[in-house]
């Protein structure tokens, strides 16, 4: 018996990864088969009968993408204080969504965000603009998820990133196409359990190892366990400045850029179609509020731990590689080198790794996205913990990818085909169209995963900017301003998303002339420009509305009705 346990403990990382990923993938596929969709309502909104707890867990998994699991702590590891914008923006945005939008959209009772846009603004043109915006946002977001899948497969299963993306495509395709929202919902419940366990276990291990404190959130603010009495953050500040980097706890971004990025991430969250649609899957408006609150609590577990993970990873990375002989680097370093995500160039030919801030002398380039994945290896944790992180990262990426693919397929089949092109299509025909749309969407997502426009979180941050620029003003004005008409909303969405696309392509990809940081408008980065594009949207929407005809009386009554709390009408009658 003891020999068997010892044999299991001695398995290498790759074998453990095959075991844990195989078990979790089998679980996801089994759930998809068990909960496959038999109608369009089940495909789009899981039949509208999901419990608040299940929907809260599914929403948390849908929300915590590869960017949250893989990239957020990685960005904070390198950006330090500046990386806090992602924590503030994404967490604050979820609160905004839960309190300001979710209950009203649930009461409106539509399948998709373009469905809300089309009916609220009584126009198929508005619906079409909504579909186009949903596709742009979702494809930008899903590119980051597929790259996250490729990263994990390339390192832990030792295949190239492109092959990893293709494997991920096949898995997502299976349960998204077969199960629709019903299959995705219950798969995401399992994925939440996997990803949160995978994120917390190594964090607890390393917190005990470095500070003696088993609670990571307290550990990264504690003194080191070596008896020196030095605080972990003070040590990291010292290590950073010794190498020429700025202090970890000091920021370098301008105040206006921090504000713009945080606000863009917040309002972008509130406009993300794949998160909003989760609130259409519960029975009642009250359940939408409950599931939003539960999801927030479940999300906080990971989000409050990420800063600690980033500090642990950065400290261990610097101590392991800086000024060390390249020949003595551990196995994990060589494995990550084969992925191209760590590169060492011996500029002075002395065989010692010079890891410094001065670009002319620096010999080591580390991709942000590997910090969470490599962290357990750097800390020399057991192989099963390292493999567990791989399974968790895949759960995070696949859960969000599935939600996004459903938004894409439902936008095409329900909003484009059913509502605009062929209103007489049968339910069976619409279900077939939804599944075919999902197949095409997976293929396009895979292409973006293989050819992504930057590392995972940067790609995802741009998607939030696009959502902020296009959907947020249309949804907010649609709920809270009954005089907002179709002309204003359509013009605002077009101006908002076009300005964001222009800025993004100019400063991220160098189109339309210089893409230099010195040329940023108002000193705002592409990740923060969603705030400015959103303001353009609001200004154009309200200005056009002032000079055009008011909405029909029945639409104004509809807006009044969705703001009345459920049960209030009955209370008035009695």
In a domain, 421, yes or no: yes
What residue numbers bound the domain in which 209 lies?
52-233+245-307+379-565
State residue 549's pLDDT score: 92
The answer to whether position 34 is within a domain reads no
List, in order, residues 6 or more apart from 539 with CB less than 8 Å away: none
The full 3-state SS of 287-343, as one line of letters, equals HHHHHHHHHHHHHHHHHHHHHHHHHHHHHHHHHHHCCCEHHHCCHHHHHHHHHCCEE
Q: In terms of Cα–Cα distance, which of 24, 142, 16 is closest to 409?
A: 142
Q: What is the mean pLDDT of residues 352-370?
A: 85
- Assess contact for 462 and 508: CB atoms under 8 A: yes
Cα atoms in the 13 Å half-sphere on the side-chain side of 244: 10
Look at residue 343 and tell me if it is in a domain. Answer: no
Position 83 scores a pLDDT of: 81
Residue with tokens 């969250």: 269
Residue 117 lies in a domain: yes
The answer to whether residues 26 and 34 touch, using CB atoms and an 8 Å cutoff, is no
3-state SS class at 364: strand
Q: Dihedrals φ, ψ of 12, to 5°?
A: -80, 170
- Residue of higher predicted confidence among 443 and 509: 443
Mind listing the pLDDT tens digit for each residue in 64-122? 777 788 878 888 888 888 888 888 887 888 788 777 777 787 777 766 778 888 889 98
Q: Would you say residue 368 lies in a domain?
A: no
Q: Which residue has the higher pLDDT, 296 or 182?
A: 296
Distance CA 380, CA 316 (A): 10
The rounded radius of gyration (Å) of the Cα atoms in the chain is 24
DSSP string, 177-234: HHHHHHHHHHHHHHHHHHHHHHHHHHHHHHHHHHHS-S-HHHHTTSB-TTSS--BHHH
15 Cβ contact list (under 8 Å, min separation 6)? none
| Higher per-residue pLDDT: 532 or 512 | 532
For 234-243, letters b (16+ CB in 10 Å) and e give ebbbebbeeb
**Helix, coil or strand: residue 292:** helix
**Most confidently predicted of 282-291, 353-362, 494-503:** 494-503
> Please, what is the average pLDDT of the chain?
82
Q: Is residue 387 part of a domain?
A: yes
Tens digit of each residue's pLDDT (9 = 90 or more) over 186-225:
888 888 888 999 999 999 999 999 999 999 999 888 988 8
223 pairs with which residues across the strands?
231
- Say how far apart CA 87 and CA 398 lie, in whole Å: 21
Percent share of the chain, pLDDT over 90: 14
The number of helices, as runs of H, and strands, as runs of E, in the chain is 25, 2
- 364, part of any domain: no
Q: Checking phi first, is residue 492 left (phi over 0); if not, alpha (psi -120 to 50) or beta?
A: alpha
Q: Which residue has the higher pLDDT, 285 or 514?
A: 285
* pLDDT tens, position by position, 302-340: 889 999 999 998 998 888 888 888 888 888 888 888 877
What beta strand segments (E) does 248-361 contain? 342-344
**418: which 2 tokens?**
């059913």
Mean pLDDT across 297-305: 90
Tokens 């713009």 identify what position?
Answer: 260
pTM of the complete model: 0.82
With respect to residue 373, please indicate whether it lies within any of the assigned structural domains.
no
- Sign (positive/negative) of CA torsion 157, 163, 165, 171? negative
What is the arithmetic mean of pLDDT over 443-452? 76
Does the pLDDT value for residue 483 go beyond 60?
A: yes
| CATH code, domain with 301 | 1.20.1730.10
Q: Give the contacts of 117 (CB within 8 A, at least 6 positions apart).
A: 126, 127, 129, 130, 471, 474, 475, 478, 489, 493
pLDDT at 573: 39
How many residues are present in the chain? 574
The answer to whether 377 and 385 are in contact (CB under 8 A) is no
In SS3 terms, 179-192 reads as: HHHHHHHHHHHHHH
Q: Looking at the predicted structure, is the pLDDT value of residue 395 above 90?
A: no
Q: Which helix (H) or strand (E) holds 164?
A: helix 161-211
CA-based max dimension of the chain: 86
Quick one: average pLDDT of 365-392?
A: 86
The average pLDDT across 449-473 equals: 75
Q: How many domains does the chain have?
A: 1
State how far the Cα of 433 lies from the Cα of 417, in Å rounded to an integer: 8
Residue 59 and residue 98 in contact, taking contact as beta carbons nearer than 8 Å: no
């Amino acid at each position: 018996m003891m020999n068997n346990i010892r044999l299991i403990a001695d398995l290498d990382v790759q074998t453990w990864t095959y075991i844990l990923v195989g078990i979790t993938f089998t679980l996801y596929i089994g759930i998809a088969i068990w909960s496959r969709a038999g109608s369009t309502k089940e495909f789009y909104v899981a039949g509208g009968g999901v419990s608040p707890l299940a929907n809260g867990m599914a929403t948390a998994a849908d929300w915590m993408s590869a960017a949250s699991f893989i990239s957020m702590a990685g960005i904070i590891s390198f950006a330090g204080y500046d990386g806090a914008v992602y924590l503030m923006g994404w967490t604050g945005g979820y609160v905004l969504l839960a309190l300001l939008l979710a209950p009203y959209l649930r009461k409106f009772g539509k399948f998709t965000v373009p469905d809300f846009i089309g009916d609220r603004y009584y126009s198929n043109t508005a619906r079409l603009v909504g579909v186009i915006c949903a596709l742009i946002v979702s494809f930008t977001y899903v590119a980051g998820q597929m790259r996250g899948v490729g990263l994990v497969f390339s390192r832990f299963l030792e295949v190239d990133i492109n092959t990893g993306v293709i494997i991920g495509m096949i898995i997502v395709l299976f349960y998204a196409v077969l199960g629709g929202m019903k299959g995705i919902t219950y798969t995401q419940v399992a994925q939440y359990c996997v990803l949160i366990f995978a994120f917390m276990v190594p964090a607890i291990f390393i917190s005990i190892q470095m500070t003696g404190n088993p609670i990571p959130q307290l550990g990264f603010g504690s003194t080191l366990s070596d008896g020196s009495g030095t605080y972990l953050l003070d040590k990291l500040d010292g290590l950073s400045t010794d190498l020429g980097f700025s202090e970890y706890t000091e920021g370098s971004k301008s105040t206006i850029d921090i504000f713009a990025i945080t606000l863009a991430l917040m309002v972008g969250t509130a406009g993300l179609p794949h998160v909003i649609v989760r609130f259409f899957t519960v029975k009642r408006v009250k359940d939408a509020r409950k599931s939003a609150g539960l999801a927030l609590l479940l999300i906080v577990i990971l989000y409050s731990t990420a800063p600690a993970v980033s500090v642990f990873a950065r400290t261990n990375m610097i101590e392991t590689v800086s000024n060390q002989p390249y020949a003595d680097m551990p196995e994990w370093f060589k494995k990550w080198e084969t992925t191209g995500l760590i590169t060492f160039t011996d500029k002075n030919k002395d065989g010692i790794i010079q890891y410094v801030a001065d670009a002319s002398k620096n010999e080591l380039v580390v991709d942000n996205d590997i910090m969470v994945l490599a962290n357990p290896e750097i800390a020399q944790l057991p192989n099963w913990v390292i493999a567990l992180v791989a399974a968790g990262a895949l759960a995070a990426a696949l859960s969000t990818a599935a939600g996004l693919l459903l938004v894409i397929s439902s936008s095409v089949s329900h909003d484009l085909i059913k509502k605009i092109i062929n209103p007489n299509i049968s339910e069976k025909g619409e279900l077939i169209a939804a599944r075919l749309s999902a197949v095409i969407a997976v293929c396009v997502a895979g292409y973006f995963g293989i050819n992504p426009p930057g590392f995972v979180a940067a790609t995802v941050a741009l998607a939030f900017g696009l959502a902020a620029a296009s959907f947020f003003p249309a949804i907010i004005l649609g709920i809270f301003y009954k005089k907002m008409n179709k002309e204003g909303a359509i013009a605002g969405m077009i101006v908002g998303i076009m300005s964001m696309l222009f800025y993004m392509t100019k400063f991220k990809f160098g189109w339309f002339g210089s893409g230099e940081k010195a040329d940023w408008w108002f000193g705002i980065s592409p990740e923060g420009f969603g705030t400015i594009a959103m303001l353009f949207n609001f200004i154009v929407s309200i200005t056009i509305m002032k000079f055009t005809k008011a909405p029909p009386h029945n639409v104004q009554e509809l807006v009044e009705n969705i703001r009345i709390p459920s049960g209030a009408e009955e209370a008035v009658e009695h």
